[in-house]
Structure 1
Amino acid sequence: MGFADDHLIPLVDEGLGNSAYLLDLGDGRALAMDASRDLRALRAAAERRGLRIAFAADTHLHADFLSGAVQLGHDSGATILASAAGRRAFDHQRLTDGDEVDLGGLTLRALATPGHTDEHLSFLLLDGSGELGVFTGGSLIVNSAARTDLLGQERTEELARAQYRSLKRLTALPDQTAVWPTHGAGSFCSAPPGTERTTTIGAQKQANPLLTAPDEDTFVAQLVASLGTYPAYFDRLGEINRRGPAVLTADPMLPALSAPQVRALIADGGHVVDVRPATDYAAGHIRGALSIPLRDQFATWLGWLLPDTAPLAFITAEDQDLSEIVWQAYKVGYERLAGKLTGGMDAWLADGNPQATTAFLAADRAAGRPYVDVRQEAEFAAGHVPGALHIELGALNESAADAPTGPVVACGHGERAMTAASLLERAGHTDVAVLDGGPADYAAAQDLRLVQGVEDTRA
């Protein structure tokens, strides 16, 4: 058993692709690293060990989630540790390069590692024998480095060059130094697929393709070329984190709404979000509702596709966890949650309201329709149906007019495609169908071979 096995608890958010860390300091206190506003898992882990969170550190002004540091400062008196360059507007210990914090037997040293953001810090954990590990946030991550375009396209290359220098600094640490990143597989802050979320400096020297780049220009070209799209809400959260998210004095709830209240919300410009499984939505839903099935990725698509300024009403299935809806919304800055429709679609219909349906087709029934693929570009390039029109789900609000008449919409399984169909229906499209499955299912049913690349695939 090593130090990390005994003292460090990684807490993975599979939906956002991030890891927070709870560090047991050995004296009944703990440090929380890059905790999100959804503190349920972190608090449960601390309670199991009988720990009080004495420090809450943030590596950077996260764009992909609201920080839980301010809440931890309020609830447990935790000292907040963050970069002085971040100009945070709340009480915290302002750290600059080389500053050290005594954790009681352990030391946390701030390392300036700009690139992902300007004010980014990594935190090197030391004891009397040397370097134990480094919390690298969005700098060095498993087999990559985090994206450098969050501050605007005009600064992408400049920050990529800063990222190059930061990774050079980190890889000067001893090979056995553990690497504990925040961003990992599934994060739109740019991490490659894979199951590993922690690594070592030595392992990254061998496996990280960016670290084998022969020079800075090659590194920059490789990193910039890997950047795909990212959720719209990323552009809002950095400033909210700088000001400090509002402290919550009680767990937020979803109030009960009647069908007339939901109708009034729609009339006043609110949105209805249907979180039921895709099959339930297809069978019957409120016209104009947005389908976002409740799963790990719920927060990502809520934050990408709807504004945070309008009230939201939710349509749920009986067995769904309402607290999961609330916390996924709150961790990405959505607090105008009007409530959930009591009784669901049965109550909506009993009140005399109409419902709409969406065809959910097996692959052998989907032939003859224009095929619209709404996956990310990298997924599409890896293999798609010949002749498919590619429109990423995140771009569909602006590109609905480009969709053909009577399409079958597809992703990898059907959830994102149902979301896409609901957007198309909201935009006025009719006769929209969703593929129950993915491109391989469709190709097999139609005796086709998937093609790779992105050439000649857009309308």
Structure 2
Amino acid sequence: MEVTSFRTHGLGDQTYLLTHEGKGVLVDPQRDIDRFLNAVAQHDVDLRFVLETHLHNDYVSGGEQAALRSGAELVLPAAAAAAYRHTPAFHLEEIGSGGLTIRPLHTPGHTPEHTSYLVFIEGEPVALFSGGSLLVASAGRPDLLGPERARSLARLQHLSVRRLAALPPAVALYPTHGEGSFCTVAGVGRLTSTVGEELKTNPLLALADAEEFADRLLAEPMPIPAFYRHVGPANILGVPPMPLVRVREVDEPVAGTHVVDIRPRRTQALGMLPGSYGIELDDDFGSWAGWLLPYAEPITLVAEPGQDVAEAVTQLARIGIDTVQGVVRDLGPHAGQTYELAGLDDFVERLTQPDAQVLDVRMPEEREQTRLEGAVERFLPDLFAGGVPGELDQARPVLVACASGRRAAIAAGFLAREGYRPIALTGAGVPEVAAALGKPERA
């Protein structure tokens, strides 16, 4: 048996291809399925099954299309009741035959229909694909479907992860959600594990009481990206195949589109098109664009000559956004929306000036760890949704900070769009600023 992992860093997720004696099983594929089907071809295996552990909220599934193109059998949790043809997975029945069989385990909690898959080779349990149930040092969060159902789902998650932890210790654990995913309760380190290792190290498995477990899962919920509410329903109804990644070159933004500048932040700072949003292209570009802009409305990209626009379009398509209308690669003399970037020393020096005002765009849980005295605090998506805080004076420069510079640069572009004079901390974050000022690390 061999398991190949496909890591999608910007979403914090993994897709898996299990192969054994010429047979293949694909688990939780994302929409851009060519990378998975190419691997199937390279392994020269017959793809027998495409398994989905649950109706994903964080990405558009490629399961249906992968099954259609490969001829594999698509297996979904029975309770998902997806609107397209599939084989329903119930609980404890055997799927497959011969030396490779799959046993679905109903493991509700992350979602009501969630199903994990235990793989047997020659009758021996060897691998568990746990989706968003038991994760490495964590568990899938139960609150994505709303606060009304969160505690009920948390109690179910308690039963589910303990059910999985009762499997043989040597069984390899392959979760879909991992570090960087907003579907996890807490950060994780390693991407895969074993059942036995989780029994020793996963703090959630030490909680025998369901209510205590639910309290822990719901104590400090992370924000939920805005695009999640669109992706989940799309995965119930089914989505069209991934479109061809071709973007026409245009001289100016297409009328009626949102302009998104994907150039490096140092280039953006020198000047962006008035009214544009700056989201530097990186692994998490699609997530931030889907979270911060109105979902699936038309977009014009601004890119440097030679910049990988196909990567930006692919990331958007993974969350169901197929609305890129064109790309501008030469801004000419029209780039007039600017902001400044500052390293740590420069930022700290400016912070001590009498007219200094600071905007902290980190998540609430990050702010609980380290705070800057007097800073206006607004999580980045809340800044986009609610507008510039009234406490900020447009006549004075605004020092913007996050944990590393990524979100600060996005916020700086937004502030510049609104007529402010932002200075974004880059290459460092609030903890480093607090240390430089001689402040304690914890609030």
TM-score by length of 1: 0.90
Deviations 1:13-56 (A, max 9, x none): 111111110111322x3211001002243234323322343321
The whole-number CA distance in structure 2 between the counterparts of 1:151 and 1:227 is 13
Aligned-partner Cα distance in 2 for 1:363–1:450:
17
Please give the alpha-carbon distance, in whole angstroms, between the structure 2 residues aligned to 1:206 and 1:390: 38
Q: For residue 355 of structure 1, what is the amino acid of its counterpart? A: G
Kept in 1: contact 2:338–2:416 (CA 8 A) = no
Given the alignment of the two structures, is residue 21 of structure 1 paired with residue 37 of structure 2, yes or no?
A: no
Give the match for residue 302 of structure 1: 289
For 1:388 and 1:187, the matched residues in 2 are separated by: 28
Residue of 183, 190, 205 corresponding to 2:184: 190
Residue 416 of structure 2 is aligned with which of 418, 425, 428?
A: 425
Q: Deviations over 1:142-162 (max 9, x none)?
A: 111111111111110010011
**Which residue identity is paired with 1:254?**
V
- The root-mean-square deviation of aligned C-alpha atoms, in Å, is 1.8
1:361 alignment partner, one of 335, 339, 342? 342
1:434 aligns with 2:424: yes
Go from structure 1 to structure 2 and tell me whether the alpha carbon gap of 1:146 and 1:194 turns closer, same or farther (over 3 Å shift). Answer: closer
For 2:323, the aligned partner's letter is R
Matched residues in 2 for 1:387 and 1:243: separation?
A: 48
What is aligned with 2:199? Answer: 205
Please tell me the residue identity of whatever aligns with 1:404. Answer: L
- The CA deviation string for residues 220-275 of structure 1, in whole angstroms up to 9 with x for no partner, is 10011142102101111111011111124x5231111122xx1x52xx2x201111
Q: Conserved in 2, the CA contact under 8 Å of 1:69 and 1:80?
A: yes
Determine which of 309, 317, 336 is the counterpart of 2:323: 336
Q: Alpha-carbon deviations, 1:397-433, whole Å to 9, x = none? A: 233332512321111222211111222334x241122
Contact 1:271 1:312 in 2 (8 A): yes
Decide whether the 8 Å contact of 1:386 with 1:451 is kept in 2. Answer: no
- Read off the aligned partner of 2:343 and give its amino acid letter: A
Report the equivalent of 2:405.
414
Partner of 1:317: 304
Q: Report the counterpart of residue 251 of structure 1 in structure 2.
A: 244
Which whole-Å CA distance do the structure 1 matches of 2:46 and 2:31 have between them?
17
| Structure 1 position 194, deviation (Å) | 3.9
> 138, 143, 156: which one pairs with 2:132?
138
Report 1:147-158 matches (<5 A): 147-158=141-152
Contact 2:31 2:241 survives alignment (8 Å): no
Give, in whole Å, the separation in 1 of the partners of 2:440 and 2:268: 29
Task: Give the secondary structure class of the aligned counterpart of 2:148.
Answer: helix
> Aligned partners of 2:37 and 2:377: how far apart in 1?
42
CA contact (8 A) 1:142 1:199 kept: yes
- Which of 43, 46, 60 aligns to 2:54? It is 60
Distance 1:183 1:354, change over 3 A: closer
- Does structure 2 conserve the Cα–Cα contact (< 8 Å) formed by 1:61 and 1:242? yes
Match of 2:363 in 1: 376
Residues 383, 103 of structure 1: alpha-carbon distance in 2 compared, 3 angstrom cutoff: farther
Asked if the contact 1:25–1:103 (Cα under 8 Å) also holds between the matched residues in 2, the reply is: no
Distance 2:41 2:233 in 1: 31
Q: Distance in 2 between matches of 1:382 and 1:43?
A: 43
Alpha-carbon separation, structure 2, partners of 1:62 and 1:239: 9
User: 2:102 & 2:308 partners in 1: Cα distance?
Assistant: 38
- 1:345 is matched with 331
CA separation of 1:191 and 1:148: change in aligned 2, threshold 3 A: closer
Give the unaligned 5+ runs of structure 2: none
Is the partner of 1:449 in helix, strand or coil?
Answer: coil
Change (3 A) 1:101 1:71: same
Q: Return the offset for 1:73.
A: 2.0
Q: Is the 8 A contact 2:370 2:434 kept in 1?
A: no
Q: Does 1:404 align with 2:404?
A: no
Measure, in 2, the Cα distance between the counterparts of 1:85 and 1:306.
32
CA contact (8 A) 1:184 1:192 kept: no
2:13, 2:177 within 8 Å by CA — same for their partners in 1? yes
Structure 1 segments, 4+ long, off by >4 Å, are none
Secondary structure at the counterpart of residue 74 of structure 2 = strand
**Structure 1 residues 51 and 327, CA gap change in structure 2 (3 angstroms):** farther
Identity %: 33
**1:443 Cα offset (Å):** 3.7
Please give the per-residue CA displacement for 1:363-397, whole angstroms capped at 9, x wherever unaligned: 33332322212122233223233333321112112
How many angstroms apart in 2 are the aligned matches of 1:376 and 1:36? 27
Q: Distance in 1 between matches of 2:358 and 2:176?
A: 37
Q: Deviations over 1:279-299 (max 9, x none)?
A: 111011011211111111111
Partner Cα distance (1:392, 1:413) in 2:
14
Tell me, in whole angstroms, the C-alpha distance in 2 between the residues paired with 1:118 and 1:390: 35
* 117-126 or 355-364, larger mean C-alpha shift: 355-364
The change in CA–CA distance for 1:288 and 1:52 in structure 2 (over 3 A counts) is farther
Match of 1:456 in 2: none
Q: Aligned partners of 1:274, 1:257: CA distance in 2, in Å?
A: 14
